[in-house]
Structure 1
Amino acid sequence: MKRAHLLAPLLLAALSLTPALAQGAAATPAAAPAQTGRTVEAVTANSSAGYSIRVPAGWLPLKNVPGADVAFINRDTGSVRPTVTVQVQDVDPKLKATLADFRDLFASQLSKDVPKFRMLGEKTIKLGSTPAILWTYLGDGDDGMVRWTQVFTLKNNRLFTATLVQPSGTTAEQIEEGRSILTSLTLK
C-alpha cells in the first residue's frame, strides 16, 4: 500500500492532461497552413526524453501544454480538434514500480477524474519489446462526449503516456491518423 501512496502524485500528473485537453482542444483556434507547393507526408519528432513519434501531415505542434513533452492538434476540423500528447515522467527507482502498479493506480482514478467515465477496452500490447497498456474510454468534456485512447508504459525508470483525445464529431480519418500517431511511439 505504501508504494501506491508514493505513486499517487505521478498518477495525478499523468491524468491531469486528459480532461483539460478535451476541454481546451475544442476552444483552440485553427492555424492556417502555409502554402508552399510541396507536400509533407509525415514528420518524426525525436525527444531527448527517450522516444520518437511520427506525426502525419495535418497535425500541428502545440506549444506550452502543461505537463506534456510534446502535443499535436489536427488542423482540419474547425471547432472539433483531436489532440495527441506525450507525457514523460521520471519514476524513483527506489519505488520499484511496475507497469501493473501504474495500471492499477490509473484505473482507480479514472472514474474520479473523468466525468461520465466509461471504459471501452483494455489491451496489453508491446511498444517494440516493451510491454504497454492500451486503453480506450469515454467521458464528458466541455462540449460533449470525448473518447480517449491512451497507451502507457514504463522503461528505464520513466513512465511514458501517449494520449489521443477525440471530441464528438471527430472523423474516421482523423481517428485513424491519431491512432497511427500513438502506435508510432518508439522508445529508445
Structure 2
Amino acid sequence: MKRALLTLALLATPALTGTASAQTAPAAAPTTAEQKTIEAITARSDRGFSLRVPAGWTPLKNVPDTDVAFAFKTVGALRPTVTVRTQDVEPSIKATLADFRDLFAGQLIKEVPKLKMLGEKTIRVNGTPAILWTYTGDGEGGGVRWSQVFTVKNNRLYTVTLMIPNGAPADLIESGREILNSFALTGK
C-alpha cells in the first residue's frame, strides 16, 4: 500500500528522474569575459540545498520541474547539463530512500532507451544517506552518460542529475564530478 501511495504522489509531478529536462534545456553560452571573471557559482536554495558549479557552466532559467539547472557548451549534438529537483513527500507515506530507489529503477527502464546501469553506490550527503547511480543510454541526439544522486531529508526528496554526452573531454567529465560532489543539504 505504501508503495502505491508513493508512486501516485510522485507521479503526479512529471519528469520524475529529471532525464528529459536535463537533455533539452536551451541557453545562451557565456561570453569570454564572463568565463574569465567567474570562477564558480554557488547556487543556494531555500529548498534546503546548495551546489557549486565551475566556470563555463551557464545557469538556465525556467527549466520545467527543476529548482536549478546549468548547461555547458554543446558537445556533439547535446549540451551537458546538471539539474537539481526537489519534491515534498507527504509525511503519512513514510517513504524511505529504498522506496525511491525501487521506484526510480522501474522508471529508468521505461524512460531511458538502451539503458545500461554502470553502478550504484550508497554515499552520504552531509551525513544523510544517499544513492549515487551511474548509467548510460540514448539521449535526445546521441549516447549519454548520467550520474544521479538522490536522497531524502525532512520529507523532501532531492535529485541531482548530471548528463554528459558520450565523447566529452576528460576535463568536462571531471567538472561534472566536482558539481555532484559539491551538492550539500543546508538543513532547511
Please give the TM-score of this superposition, normalised by the length of structure 1: 0.89
Tell me, in whole angstroms, the C-alpha distance in 2 between the residues paired with 1:132 and 1:5.
22
Q: How many correspondences in the alignment?
A: 184
Tell me, in whole angstroms, the C-alpha distance in 1 between the residues paired with 2:17 and 2:147.
15
Q: Which of 143, 153, 156 does residue 154 from structure 2 map onto?
A: 156
CA contact (8 A) 1:30 1:78 kept: no
CA contact (8 A) 2:77 2:141 kept: no
Output aligned runs, 1:1-188, within 5 Å. 2-9=1-8, 10=10, 13-15=14-16, 17-22=18-23, 24=24, 28=26, 30-33=28-31, 35=33, 39-75=37-73, 77=75, 79-188=77-186
Tell me, in whole angstroms, the C-alpha distance in 2 between the residues paired with 1:101 and 1:58.
36
1:31-88 Cα shifts (integer Å, max 9, x gaps)? 2415269532112111000011101111110111110000000137574421000000
Once the two structures are TM-superposed, the CA of residue 17 in structure 1 deviates from its matched residue by 2.4
Q: CA RMSD in A?
A: 2.0
Q: 1:119 to 1:42 in 2, by over 3 A?
A: same
Q: Which amino acid aligns with 1:42?
A: A
Tell me, in whole angstroms, the C-alpha distance in 2 between the residues paired with 1:37 and 1:43.
11
Q: 1:137 to 1:91 in 2, by over 3 A?
A: same
CA contact (8 A) 2:29 2:72 kept: no
Q: Which amino acid aligns with 2:7?
A: A
Moved more, 152-161 or 75-84: 75-84
Please give the TM-score of this superposition, normalised by the length of structure 2: 0.89
Structure 1 unmatched runs, 5+: none
1:98-123 Cα shifts (integer Å, max 9, x gaps)? 00100011112211111111100000
Structure 2 unmatched runs, 5+: none
